[in-house]
Structure 1
Amino acid sequence: MKKIGLDVVKVSRIDKLKNNQKFIDKIFDSEEVKYLEKKRFNSETVAGFFACKEAVAKAVGTGIGKTSWKNIKIRHDENGAPYGILNNSESEIIYVNLSITHEKEYALAVALIEENINFNLKNPPIFISKRKEESHKGTYGKVSIIGGSFGMSGSIYLASTASLRMGSGLVYSVVPSSIAEILSIKFEEVIVESIASQKPYFDNNADEILKKIEKSDAIALGPGLGWDESRETLVKKVIQRVKKPVVLDADGLNCISDKPDVLKKGEDIVITPHPGEMSRLTKKTISEILKNPKEIATDFAKKYNVVVVLKKSNTVVVNPKGDYYINKTGNPGMATAGSGDVLTGIIVSLIGQGYGSFDASKLGVFIHGLAGDMAANKYGQESLIAKDIIEFMPEAIKKCKN
Structure 2
Amino acid sequence: MTFGGLKRGHLLYPGKDYCGITKLVSIGFHDQTIQEYASAFTFADERNIMPPRANDSNKGTYGKILMITGNETMSGAAAFAGEAALRMGAGLVKILSDESNRGILQTRLPECLFGTRNQLKESLEWCDCILFGPGIGVSEQTRDMLQYIMEHGKKPLIIDADGLNTISRYQMDVQYEYGLILTPHLMEGARLLSKPLEEIKKDICQAAEDIARKYHGTAVLKDAATVVTEKSHLLYINQSGNHGMATGGSGDVLAGMIAGLLGSGMSSYEAAIKGVYLHGLAGNAARDEKGPYSMIASDILKHIKDVTGGEYESVLPGACSYRSGCNLQ
Query: Partner of 1:306 in structure 2?
Result: 217
Query: Partner of 2:77 in structure 1?
Result: 155
Query: Partner of 1:137 in structure 2?
Result: 59
Query: Partner of 1:315 in structure 2?
Result: 226
Structure 2 CA distance for partners of 1:228 and 1:164, relative to 1, 3 Å: same
Matched, 1:376 2:298: no
Mapping for residues 375-394 of structure 1, pairs under 5 Å: 375-394=286-305
Mapping for residues 24-103 of structure 1, pairs under 5 Å: none
CA-to-aligned-CA distance 1:76-131 (integer Å, 9 cap, x gap): xxxxxxxxxxxxx778xxxxxxxxxxxxxxxxxxxxxxxxxxxxx84258822321
Q: Which amino acid aligns with 1:367?
A: L
Query: Partner of 2:278 in structure 1?
Result: 367
Query: Partner of 1:253 in structure 2?
Result: 164
Contact between 1:156 and 1:173, CA under 8 Å: does it hold in 2? yes
> Could you tell me how far apart the structure 1 residues matched to 2:145 and 2:67 are?
14
- Correspondent of 1:220 among 116, 131, 141: 131
Please identify, of 317-326 and 365-374, the stretch whose mean Cα deviation from structure 2 is larger.
Answer: 317-326
Matched, 1:271 2:193: no
Contact between 1:170 and 1:190, CA under 8 Å: does it hold in 2? yes
Query: Partner of 1:95 in structure 2?
Result: none
Q: Which amino acid aligns with 2:232?
A: K
3-state SS of 2:213 partner: helix
Matched, 1:289 2:211: no
Matched, 1:234 2:114: no
Matched, 1:336 2:247: yes
> Could you tell me how far apart the structure 2 residues matched to 1:347 and 1:361 are?
6
Please identify, of 251-260 and 266-275, the stretch whose mean Cα deviation from structure 2 is larger.
Answer: 251-260
Contact between 2:48 and 2:312, CA under 8 Å: does it hold in 1? no
Who wins on radius of gyration, i.e. which is larger? 1
Contact between 1:239 and 1:262, CA under 8 Å: does it hold in 2? no
> Could you tell me how far apart the structure 1 residues matched to 2:271 and 2:176 are?
21
Matched, 1:184 2:106: yes
State, as a whole percentage, how many aligned pairs show the same letter: 38
Q: CA deviation at 1:160?
A: 0.2
Matched positions, count: 274
Q: Which runs of 5+ in 2 are unaligned?
A: 1-20, 24-42, 314-329
Q: Which amino acid aligns with 1:157?
A: A
Q: CA deviation at 1:180?
A: 1.5
Q: CA deviation at 1:355?
A: 0.6
Contact between 2:63 and 2:90, CA under 8 Å: does it hold in 1? yes
Q: Which runs of 5+ in 1 are unaligned?
A: 1-88, 92-120, 196-204
Q: CA deviation at 1:332?
A: 0.7
Q: CA deviation at 1:272?
A: 0.3
> Could you tell me how far apart the structure 1 residues matched to 2:68 and 2:139 are?
16
Higher strand share: 1
Contact between 1:220 and 1:246, CA under 8 Å: does it hold in 2? yes
Q: CA deviation at 1:312?
A: 0.4
> Could you tell me how far apart the structure 1 residues matched to 2:48 and 2:244 are?
25
Contact between 2:143 and 2:170, CA under 8 Å: does it hold in 1? no
Cα RMSD of the aligned pairs, angstroms, is 2.0
Structure 2 CA distance for partners of 1:140 and 1:324, relative to 1, 3 Å: same
Q: CA deviation at 1:147?
A: 1.4
Q: CA deviation at 1:229?
A: 2.2
CA-to-aligned-CA distance 1:199-236 (integer Å, 9 cap, x gap): xxxxxx4xx31212311100000011011222222222
> How high is the TM-score relative to the length of structure 2?
0.78
> Could you tell me how far apart the structure 2 residues matched to 1:373 and 1:292 are?
26
Q: CA deviation at 1:258?
A: 4.0
> Could you tell me how far apart the structure 1 residues matched to 2:109 and 2:131 are?
18
Q: CA deviation at 1:260?
A: 5.4
> Could you tell me how far apart the structure 2 residues matched to 1:326 and 1:399 are?
23
3-state SS of 1:144 partner: strand
Structure 2 CA distance for partners of 1:168 and 1:90, relative to 1, 3 Å: farther
Q: Which amino acid aligns with 2:100?
A: S
> Could you tell me how far apart the structure 2 residues matched to 1:340 and 1:399 are?
25
Higher relative contact order (CA 8 A, sep 6+): 2
Structure 2 CA distance for partners of 1:381 and 1:399, relative to 1, 3 Å: farther
CA-to-aligned-CA distance 1:288-315 (integer Å, 9 cap, x gap): 1121111111122123211000000110
> Could you tell me how far apart the structure 2 residues matched to 1:222 and 1:125 are?
31
Question: Any runs of at least 4 consecutive aligned residues in structure 1 with deviations exceeding 3 A, and if so which?
Answer: 258-261, 399-402
Q: Which amino acid aligns with 1:293?
A: I
CA-to-aligned-CA distance 1:313-337 (integer Å, 9 cap, x gap): 1100001225211100011111110
Query: Partner of 2:15 in structure 1?
Result: none
Contact between 2:48 and 2:308, CA under 8 Å: does it hold in 1? no
Contact between 1:143 and 1:349, CA under 8 Å: does it hold in 2? yes
